[in-house]
Each structure stands twice: as C-alpha cells, then as structure tokens.
Amino acid sequence: MIHIGKLIEEELRRQERSVSWFAKKLYCDRTNVYSIFKRSSIDTELLLRISIILNRNFFSYYLQELNNCKVITTIT
C-alpha cells in the first residue's frame, strides 16, 4: 500500500529542500505541508501540483501499484 505523504516527504528531503520552501511553492502554511506528509492518499490536483514543483511523477507509484494488482489478479 502506498503512503503518498511519506513519499513526498522523502523526495523533498532527497532534494534537500526545506518545508518552508515547499510551503511557499504550494502557497500554503508549513503546517499544511506537515499535514500532507501524514496523508496516505491525496487529491489528484494537489498531487499534480506537487509533482510539478518537485519535478517527480508521483502518479507513477499508483501506476506501479495498479500493475502489481493486475499481475496478482491474472495469476489467481
């Protein structure tokens, strides 16, 4: 199961970007960013904005999950 908030937080840290920088790019408060990190799911429009800001396709994690489910369904 994907925990998208953790993946976003990991990418932000990997890029050595601050929470303040990210909040500014998202036009929100730092507290909202910490809230995003705690989310196991996220609105697609917000995920698109985050993907653009961090230059990382976070949708690919869901596509990978979907493909894994298809393989499991085909096998059983």
Distance CA 57, CA 71 (A): 22
Distances in Å between the Cα of 22 and the Cα atoms of 16, 18, 70, 75 are 11, 6, 35, 42
pTM over 0.75: yes
Q: What is the pLDDT along the chain (76 residues), one digit of tens a residue?
A: 889 999 999 999 999 999 999 999 999 999 999 999 999 999 999 999 999 999 999 999 999 988 888 666 666 5
Question: Is the Cα torsion angle 49, 50, 56, 59 positive or negative in sign?
Answer: negative
Look up residue 39 and give its DSSP letter: -
| The token pair that represents 66 in the structure block | 């979907």
What SS3 state is found at 17?
Answer: coil
